[in-house]
Amino acid sequence: MAEATGVLVLGELAGGELASVSQELLAAGRKLADDLGEELTIALLGASVEGASQQAISYGADRVYAVTHPLLEEYQVDLNLAALESLCQETNPNVLLIARTESGRELAPRLAFRLGVGLAQDCLEVSVDPAAKRLLANRPVYGGNAIAVISCDLTPQIAAVRPKVYEPLEPDPSRQGQVVSFPVELESSQARTRIVERVEETSTGIKLEDARVVVSGGRGLGGPEPFAHLEELAKVMGGAVGASRAAVDSGWVPVAYQVGLTGKTITPEIYIMVAISGASQHMAGCSGAKVIVAINKDSEANIFREARYGVVGDWEQIIPAFTAAVRELVQS
């Protein structure tokens, strides 16, 4: 087989448009492709993917594979896997980047196994080893307490990249690229699972992942009722409410509130953490926050090693006064 070449990004669509995670991945992929002296391509899977193709080019792709089949209209992991497997076999990429999103976190390992290659999981940084011209991936282990640098020994070298660690490039609508149509053959019987129902549990309002301000509560709140205070503060600041796993496991708030390694990754301008100790697994989801504010009664809590501002004391006293003062400042 000819030598593997090119950096392939697995694109995701959101409402027919190129999803923001894919814009991020194109930025990461562009740098890798340039360092390797290879092409940057993107795979877009769907029933039709026309809208997003030119967008992908403007965000840095040299070539778009429009991987289409009517069965790809609704996302189903087995069908997407089969389509990607044939694309990889046909195009033989050197590097494959997949965003570690809801779908990517299952798809990436399964694709790697199907292709019989390794996967660098949950990467915070991908780069090219200048000597060996191989992919290097930095990934957190032990809930972020340590970082491992991994390389893949076979091709494609696959990395699952954590969302929101790369900034998209400035889109250039005049950029030229090629769109290659790649129809695939699929059978509906290849889908091994069926989605019976999909239920949204989050409240309406600003999404945690997109919020400029996030106020999170932890075990130290002691129950579900205090979250009403956090909701109020978040409302005054135009933000959203999150929680630690301890608060979620206690049943005080829905799972969708959880920030952290096994919850959501957030990147707000201000992250206010109330009665949360700052375990590494929580911090893994908020290390991209610009300013962290900690309110905790234990001056030894780990969170004071990560926060920009800290108030040592009882939230019951601090939060109402803080909320009132913020309201006044916002209104003045």
Alpha carbons within 13 A on the beta-carbon side of 178: 8
Q: Would you say 36 or 283 has its CB closer to other proteins?
A: 283
Find which of ligand FAD, other proteins, none residue 170 binds, CB within 5 to 8 Å per kind.
Answer: none
Find which of other proteins, ligand FAD, none residue 264 binds, CB within 5 to 8 Å per kind.
Answer: other proteins
Find which of other proteins, ligand FAD, none residue 329 binds, CB within 5 to 8 Å per kind.
Answer: other proteins
Q: CB-based contacts of 306: which residues, under 8 Å, 6+ apart?
A: 278, 283, 292, 294
**Distance of closest approach, residue 96 Cβ to ligand FAD, in angstroms:** 14
Q: CB-based contacts of 185: which residues, under 8 Å, 6+ apart?
A: 69, 86
Q: If binding is defined by CB under 8 A, does position 209 make contact with other proteins?
A: yes
Whether 84 and 44 have beta carbons less than 8 Å apart is answered as no
Q: Which of 4, 13, 150, 179 binds other proteins (CB under 8 A)?
A: 150
Binding range to other proteins, per CB under 8 A, among 49-57, 87-95, 116-124, 175-183: 116-124
Residues 243-262 that bind other proteins (CB under 8 A): 245, 248-249, 254-256, 261-262
Whether 272 and 215 have beta carbons less than 8 Å apart is answered as yes
Tell me the two tokens of residue 225: 């009722």
Q: Which of 35, 86, 118, 125 binds other proteins (CB under 8 A)?
A: 118
Q: If binding is defined by CB under 8 A, does position 121 make contact with other proteins?
A: yes
Whether 65 and 44 have beta carbons less than 8 Å apart is answered as yes
Find which of other proteins, ligand FAD, none residue 304 binds, CB within 5 to 8 Å per kind.
Answer: other proteins
Q: Which of 143, 168, 171, 222 binds other proteins (CB under 8 A)?
A: 143
How many C-beta neighbours within 10 Å does residue 281 have?
Answer: 18
Q: If binding is defined by CB under 6 A, does position 120 make contact with ligand FAD?
A: yes
Q: Would you say 150 or 169 has its CB closer to other proteins?
A: 150
H or E element in which residue 121 lies: strand 119-123
H or E element in which residue 79 lies: helix 77-91
Q: If binding is defined by CB under 8 A, does position 97 make contact with other proteins?
A: no
Q: Would you say 34 or 269 has its CB closer to other proteins?
A: 269
Q: Would you say 98 or 301 has its CB closer to ligand FAD?
A: 301
Site mask, ligand FAD, residues 298-327, x = CB under 6 A?
Answer: x--x------------xxx-----------
Q: If binding is defined by CB under 6 A, does position 50 make contact with ligand FAD?
A: no
How many C-beta neighbours within 10 Å does residue 248 have?
Answer: 21
Long-range contacts made by residues 13-19, C-beta under 8 angstroms, separation at least 24? 13/44, 13/46, 13/49, 13/52, 16/51, 16/52, 17/51, 17/52, 17/55, 18/44, 18/52, 18/55, 18/56, 18/59
How far does CA 55 lie from the centroid of its chain?
20
Q: CB-based contacts of 182: which residues, under 8 Å, 6+ apart?
A: 43, 65, 66, 67, 68, 87, 90
Residues 242-261 that bind ligand FAD (CB under 6 A): 244-247, 258-261
Size of the site for ligand FAD (CB under 6 A): 37
Q: If binding is defined by CB under 8 A, does position 47 make contact with other proteins?
A: no
Binding range to other proteins, per CB under 8 A, among 10-18, 31-39, 46-54, 279-287: 279-287
Q: CB-based contacts of 189: which residues, under 8 Å, 6+ apart?
A: none
Residues in contact with ligand FAD by the rule CB under 6 A: 118-121, 139, 141, 143, 148, 150, 218-220, 244-247, 258-263, 275-277, 279, 281-282, 285, 295-298, 301, 314-316
